[in-house]
Structure 1
Amino acid sequence: MIQKKVKLTGREKSELIIEGIVTVVIMVLLNFAVLVLITQVLNRSPQVQDGIWLLKIGLNQNNTLQLWSWQWLFIFLMIIFDAIVVWWRLIRRYHQIQMRHVIAELHYIADGHLGHRIPFLVKTDLQKVIDSINALVDSTVQSMDEERQIEKSKDELISNVSHDIRTPLTSIIGYLGLIEDRQYHSEEELLKFSHTAYVKSKQMKVLVDDLFEYTKVRQNGTRLNTTEFSLTNLLEQLAASFELEAEKKHIDIDVRTTPSPLVMTADPEKLVRVFNNLLVNGLKYGQGATHIWLTAQQVGNEVIIKVSNDGAEIPNDSLSHLFDRFYRVEESRSQETGGSGLGLAIAQSIVALHGGYIYATSDAKMTSFVIYLPAAPGKKVAKPAAIQAAEKTQKKKAGTPEHATA
């Protein structure tokens, strides 16, 4: 926003001129009144006249300064005093006019023009008021945008949940209806109908459980049950629990930590949910993968964890949306691999609760989910350079200046 000086209208300039003329007239009358008062005092007080006569004699004898010099000095001081008063009155009136302009701008903003800002640049404390008003409007607009985004997010959540629940629920009702109406021709077909209804019920349960977990970790005031534990042992136990499923897909899971064992303080139960979601994601969507690597390294007060696989590359356009609720890469939307779409959003929320960050990278060789966590609770890690670069790219695409705040 370009700031400028208050531009006076013709009427306001006339107001200043009239103010100056009126002040000059008042000061002339005041000076005349003072002169008359002094004259009357001199004429009515012999003692004062005698004192002035002695002063004249003394000045003439000393030949230092004539009386007329004192008279001119008095007149000069009166002129300076009058000029100061006139200037003060004009400045005071000018500041009042500036205030009127600011109030008019404020009323314009209050009428609903929230994109407008007070553009004036003044040299008084009024500038602090202008800057505060502009900052307040910026904060209000940001809060309103966030509120709209929350409402939009709630609507999308309800819509997505309704859609994802309705699809398996329709199948369940349909197959149970066939069983209820005895629309099967053999016991094998009956078992097929009941099995399909059972599978769809399990899909609904996964969605409901994930939705419950997501809302739970997103609530304000959610507490972490932190304890000191070995991250190395936790990752090894997770790898062992997924070993059978990985063998079916001919995938090897490798765990490496530096140092070994790597000990940290966090909420192990919630972190298990994070790593579990990332492993499930790798096994489901890592098409063509032969390895999954779980690596962790302590760097200073931070722990950097990577869950990587050598499967198919994730498109760049999808990387920035992976952690959005219900988002799935389009090629993976199938009944065979499709999950609730909340797994990565839950993982991001849990990592954020710990004061950390998570992001994804992908190329033709490797797809990795990178997690930064503080080694001890109560601290927050610095934002990784990869996330900062992604945010700058998004702001450039949206046309937002890099220095603007979110």
Structure 2
Amino acid sequence: MNTYLLILIIFLMCVCCISIFKNIYFSNQIDEINRSLEQIRDGNFNMRLRLYSSNKGLQNLGVNLNSIIDEFQRIVEKKEYLEESRKKMISNISHDLRTPLTSVLGYLEALHKDSTLDKEERKYFLDIVYIKAQRLYSLLEQYFQLSKIEAEDVPIKLEKINLTNIVKDALVEFYQEFVKENIEPIIEIQEKDLFVWGDSKAIDRILSNLLLNALRYGKEQKTIGLMMKEKNSMVWVEIWNGGAGIPEKDIPYIFDRLYTAEPSRNEKLRGSGLGLAIVKKLIERLNGKVLVKSIPNEKTTFSFGLPLYKQLM
């Protein structure tokens, strides 16, 4: 046999062998991918593809598939969280509406059926009914406002706003509340007016909700403060109070709709959890940022920042 022909045959046999081994290798890799995807399909979302290959195409395939699996896992976890939040929201709504309504019905029944009540007792009962009904109306109004904000049905007009003046006006509105609770707030506002790009009604609502929150949880310690500062092309307003504070585990959820930390779910301090949700939604509509820090039994600070007006000119 011709030597050159023999070399050619050997070469072709080597090529065929390499091709066969390569196909077997790729087939094994594909089988590995299928096995991993089957486990993920069956609910093992911690499974990831591990492809040991020098082939760039296989490497890219593995990276992209793992990226898709990561995103899918985030979606599943978010869905589970939202479902849990929905159940908790329904429970909290039922609790928050039932409590004042039960009280109102109880006192109305006494007024209707108890003929032994004298004039002062009837007036006392009516005053309680009025207070509870106001609480119920306020709660329903917050639900309504939050739903409108989430649906972007509340008009936001971005314009040049003197934030310093709005903050001062908000403090004046709360003056009687501070006097009533014997609180002298610590105010740190620089003399220079600070202007932001915002909406006056939205900002006023944000300040009102945060001040109400600080007053609710800070009045027992008689410590409430407010500070304004300019930092990193934004104007920041910090509102802080003393008190029990917020547990670290609750911080990530504090702005969620109807979320209230369990220790606060009592008649003296319990809020609806709607005020802070409204704050977050409005600040997002204003292209701002909101933060919360809490040192239990020492200090809790809610901060929101809005873009300096000159930065958007």
Interval of TM-score (by shorter of Structure 1 and Structure 2)? 0.7 to 0.9
1:107 paired to 2:38: yes
Checking the alignment, whether the CA contact within 8 Å between 1:351 and 1:358 is kept in structure 2 is no
Checking the alignment, whether the CA contact within 8 Å between 2:280 and 2:290 is kept in structure 1 is yes
1:75 paired to 2:11: no
Q: Say if 1:328 and 1:128 are closer, same or farther in 2 by CA, change over 3 A.
A: closer
Q: How far did 1:313 drift?
A: 5.2
1:117 paired to 2:10: no
Checking the alignment, whether the CA contact within 8 Å between 2:51 and 2:58 is kept in structure 1 is no
Alignment RMSD? 3.0
Q: For structure 2, list consecutive stretches of 5 or more residues without a partner in the other structure.
A: none
1:369 paired to 2:302: yes
1:360 pairs with one of 290, 293, 298: 293
Distance 2:296 2:8 in 1: 84
1:199 paired to 2:118: no
Checking the alignment, whether the CA contact within 8 Å between 2:181 and 2:219 is kept in structure 1 is no
1:251 paired to 2:183: yes
Match of 2:76 in 1: 144
Q: Say if 1:315 and 1:82 are closer, same or farther in 2 by CA, change over 3 A.
A: closer
Note the 1:33-72 alignment, pairs <5 A.
71-72=2-3
Q: How far did 1:158 drift?
A: 0.9
The SS at the match of 1:252 is coil
Cα deviations by residue, 1:325-358 (Å, 9 ceiling, x for unpaired) = 341572x555344432322232233333334122
Q: Say if 1:377 and 1:89 are closer, same or farther in 2 by CA, change over 3 A.
A: farther
1:305 paired to 2:237: yes
- Give the aligned residue type for 1:150: L
Distance 1:223 1:145 in 2: 33
Distance 1:133 1:363 in 2: 43
Percent of aligned positions that are identical? 25
Match of 2:23 in 1: 92
Match of 2:99 in 1: 167
Match of 2:227 in 1: 295
Distance 2:244 2:220 in 1: 10
Distance 1:293 1:326 in 2: 24
The SS at the match of 1:272 is helix
Query: How many positions carry a matched residue from both structures?
Result: 308
Q: TM-score, normalised by structure 2?
A: 0.84
Q: Say if 1:327 and 1:308 are closer, same or farther in 2 by CA, change over 3 A.
A: same
Distance 1:112 1:329 in 2: 32
Distance 2:29 2:249 in 1: 52
Checking the alignment, whether the CA contact within 8 Å between 2:187 and 2:226 is kept in structure 1 is yes
Q: How far did 1:295 drift?
A: 1.9
Distance 1:79 1:365 in 2: 83
2:277 pairs with one of 345, 354, 361: 345
Q: For structure 1, list consecutive stretches of 5 or more residues without a partner in the other structure.
A: 1-34, 36-70, 380-406
Note the 1:183-262 alignment, pairs <5 A.
183-219=115-151, 224-253=156-185, 255-258=187-190, 260-262=192-194
Cα deviations by residue, 1:60-114 (Å, 9 ceiling, x for unpaired) = xxxxxxxxxxx53443344223322332233123322322332233233323333
Q: How far did 1:299 drift?
A: 1.9
Match of 2:260 in 1: 327
Distance 2:95 2:296 in 1: 32
Q: Say if 1:362 and 1:118 are closer, same or farther in 2 by CA, change over 3 A.
A: closer
Q: TM-score, normalised by structure 1?
A: 0.67
